C-alpha cells in the first residue's frame, strides 16, 4: 500500500533537520550570524503558523501578526514576572524558566484567537481577509491606548537572564539563544506537521477545497475554521514568545500590518501548497531582509521583486518547484524535464541580472553610486549607451531563453 512509508523514510527529514541544527553552531560563529539564524527560526514558526490558515485552511489573513505580537507581549510580561519573582523567590513565576516562555506565547496567542475568532470564521474569502485586516489595524492602533500593557511607542523591555536555569542552559549570548531557538523551532515545526496528519488537519484542507460539501459530510465549516484559527494563533504566539526571549523587547510594530505582510510574503514565496514551503520562504526572505541591506540601499525593492516574480512565474512557490522536481525524480523522468526547467531558471537569472542592472543604473543616476556596485567593484557609467545596451542584451537573452525553454517544455508534454 502506497501510504505505508517505511518508518526510516518518514523519520529521515527530522533526523536531517536535527543534524543540521546540531552542525550549524560548529560551522558558524559571531553574534551577527547567530542573530540572523535565531530570527530565521522565529520566522519559520511564524510563516508555518500563517500557512495553517492560508495554505491549509484556505483563510487569507491580513492580521496574523496580532497573535504573533500578543504572544510576544505575553512572553515578555512573563519574563518580567519571572524577574520580579526572583527577588523573594516565591510563587509560580519564581520557578518558571525563561526557556519555557514560548509556551506562554502559545497560550496568549491561542487565547486571543479564541476570544476574537468566532465571528471571523463564518466566511472565508474576501470577508475573512477584510475582517482580519480590520482586526490588525484595530489592535495595532489600540495598543497605543494601553501603555502599561504595550509600553507605548517604545514597547516593553525585559531581561532574559532571570529565573531558574535548567540543565545549565543559560541565555546570555546569541549563541546561547541559538539552542533555545533550535529546540523550539524543531518542536513547533514537528507539532504543526503532526497537526496536518490529524483528522482536524485533513478536514481543514477539506474546508479549504469545498466548504459546502463539508456540511453534507456532517461538519459546519465555521467550527473547523475556528479551531484552525485558534491553533494558528497559538503557534504564531509561540513564534512571538521566541522573539520576546531573543530580543528582550516587544514593540507595537510586531502587531501591525507590516508584520502580517511579512508572514504572507514568506509563506507565498516558499509555497502554500507544500508543508515545508513556508520554511524555505522564511529562510530566503529573512536572509534577504537581513543581508541585502548591507549591500544595497534598494534591498526592499529587491525583496518586493522576488515576491512579484514568484507570484507571477511560480505561483506554487519555491517549495512547489522543489516538489515538482522531486516528483519527476521519483517517476524517473527528471532527465526529460530538466533541460526545460533549467532553461526557465536560466531565463529568470538573466532577466533578474538585467533588472538588477537597470535598478542600479537608475539608482546611480538619482542617488549616486549604490553600495552593490561598490561591493561588486563595478563602475558602470550611466551616460554610456554601451552599458544600457548590455542591460538590454541581458533582457533579450533572458526572454529568448524563456521562449526556447517554454517551447521545449510544451513539445515534451
Q: List contacts with other proteins (CB under 8 A).
A: 2-3, 194-195, 197-203, 205-206, 208-210, 212-220, 223-224, 227, 231, 273
Report, in Å, the least distance between residue 198 CB and other proteins: 5
* C-alpha–C-alpha distance, residues 377 and 369, integer Å: 11
Report, in Å, the least distance between residue 126 CB and other proteins: 20
Report, in Å, the least distance between residue 363 CB and other proteins: 43
Q: Which is nearer to other proteins, 214 or 263 (CB)?
A: 214
Cell reading at 277: 514551503
Q: Which residue's entry shows cell 491580513?
A: 62
Using an 8 Å Cβ cutoff, are 370 and 363 in contact? yes
* C-alpha–C-alpha distance, residues 133 and 363, integer Å: 34
User: Residue 82 phi/psi, 5° resolution?
Assistant: -60, -45
Using an 8 Å Cβ cutoff, are 193 and 275 in contact? yes
Q: Which is nearer to other proteins, 70 or 203 (CB)?
A: 203
Q: Which is nearer to other proteins, 21 or 53 (CB)?
A: 53
Using an 8 Å Cβ cutoff, are 225 and 121 in contact? yes
Q: Which is nearer to other proteins, 12 or 169 (CB)?
A: 12
157 DSSP β-pair partners: 249
Buried b (16+ CB within 10 A) or exposed e, 256-295: beebbebbbbbbbbbbbebbbbbbbbbbbbbebbbebeeb
DSSP 293-319: HHH-TTHHHHHHHHHHHHHHH-TTHHH
H helices of 314-384, in order, are: 317-331, 334-367, 371-376
Using an 8 Å Cβ cutoff, are 228 and 56 in contact? yes
H or E stretch including 391? helix 385-412
Q: Which is nearer to other proteins, 103 or 162 (CB)?
A: 103
Q: Which is nearer to other proteins, 58 or 241 (CB)?
A: 58
Q: Which is nearer to other proteins, 202 or 326 (CB)?
A: 202
Report, in Å, the least distance between residue 141 CB and other proteins: 34
Q: Which is nearer to other proteins, 122 or 371 (CB)?
A: 122
Nearest residue to 187 (alpha-carbon basis) of 17, 28, 55: 17
Q: Which is nearer to other proteins, 56 or 143 (CB)?
A: 56
Where in 159-235 does DSSP place strands (E)? Answer: none
* C-alpha–C-alpha distance, residues 360 and 297, integer Å: 10
Report, in Å, the least distance between residue 217 CB and other proteins: 4
Phi-psi region of 54 (alpha: psi -120 to 50; beta: other; left: phi over 0): alpha
Q: Which is nearer to other proteins, 40 or 232 (CB)?
A: 232
- Cβ-based burial of 328 (10 A; exposed 0-12, middle 13-18, buried ≥19): middle
Q: Which residues contact 398 (CB under 8 A, 6 or more apart)?
A: 347, 348, 349, 350, 351, 353, 354
Amino acid at each position: 500500500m502506497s501510504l505505508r512509508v517505511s518508518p526510516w523514510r518518514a523519520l529521515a527529514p527530522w533526523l536531517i533537520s536535527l543534524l543540521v541544527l546540531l552542525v550549524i553552531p560548529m560551522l558558524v560563529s559571531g553574534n551577527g550570524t547567530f542573530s540572523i539564524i535565531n530570527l530565521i527560526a522565529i520566522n519559520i514558526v511564524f510563516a508555518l503558523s500563517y500557512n495553517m490558515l492560508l495554505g491549509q485552511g484556505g483563510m487569507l489573513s491580513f492580521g496574523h501578526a496580532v497573535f504573533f505580537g500578543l504572544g510576544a507581549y505575553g512572553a515578555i510580561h512573563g519574563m518580567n514576572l519571572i524577574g520580579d519573582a526572583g527577588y523573594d523567590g516565591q510563587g509560580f513565576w519564581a520557578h518558571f524558566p525563561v526557556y519555557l516562555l514560548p509556551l506562554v506565547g502559545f497560550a496568549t496567542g491561542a487565547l486571543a484567537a479564541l476570544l476574537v475568532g468566532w465571528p471571523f470564521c463564518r466566511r472565508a474569502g474576501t470577508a475573512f481577509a477584510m475582517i482580519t485586516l480590520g482586526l490588525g489595524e484595530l489592535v495595532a492602533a489600540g495598543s497605543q491606548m494601553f501603555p502599561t500593557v504595550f509600553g507605548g511607542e517604545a514597547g516593553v523591555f525585559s531581561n532574559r537572564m532571570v529565573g531558574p536555569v535548567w540543565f545549565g542552559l543559560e541565555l546570555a549570548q546569541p549563541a546561547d539563544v541559538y539552542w533555545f531557538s533550535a529546540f523550539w523551532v524543531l518542536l513547533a515545526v514537528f507539532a504543526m506537521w503532526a497537526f496536518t496528519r490529524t483528522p482536524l488537519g485533513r478536514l481543514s484542507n477539506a474546508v479549504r477545497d469545498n466548504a459546502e460539501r463539508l456540511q453534507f459530510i456532517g461538519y459546519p465549516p465555521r467550527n473547523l475554521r475556528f479551531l484552525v484559527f485558534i491553533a494558528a494563533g497559538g503557534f504564531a504566539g509561540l513564534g512571538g514568545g521566541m522573539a520576546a526571549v531573543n530580543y528582550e523587547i516587544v514593540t507595537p510594530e510586531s502587531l501591525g500590518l507590516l508584520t502580517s505582510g511579512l508572514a504572507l510574503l514568506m509563506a507565498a514565496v516558499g509555497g502554500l501548497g507544500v508543508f515545508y514551503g513556508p520554511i524555505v520562504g522564511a529562510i530566503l526572505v529573512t536572509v534577504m531582509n537581513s543581508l541585502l541591506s548591507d549591500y544595497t540601499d534598494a534591498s526592499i525593492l529587491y525583496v518586493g521583486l522576488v515576491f512579484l516574480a514568484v507570484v507571477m512565474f511560480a505561483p506554487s512557490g519555491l517549495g512547489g518547484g522543489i516538489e515538482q522536481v522531486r516528483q519527476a525524480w521519483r517517476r524517473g523522468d527528471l532527465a526529460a524535464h530538466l533541460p526545460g526547467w533549467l532553461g526557465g531558471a536560466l531565463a529568470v537569472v538573466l532577466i533578474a541580472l538585467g533588472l538588477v542592472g537597470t535598478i542600479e543604473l537608475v539608482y546611480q543616476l538619482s542617488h549616486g553610486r549604490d553600495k552593490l556596485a561598490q561591493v561588486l567593484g563595478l563602475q558602470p557609467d550611466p551616460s554610456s549607451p554601451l552599458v544600457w545596451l548590455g542591460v538590454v542584451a541581458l533582457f533579450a537573452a533572458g526572454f529568448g531563453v524563456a521562449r526556447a525553454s517554454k517551447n521545449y517544455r510544451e513539445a515534451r508534454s
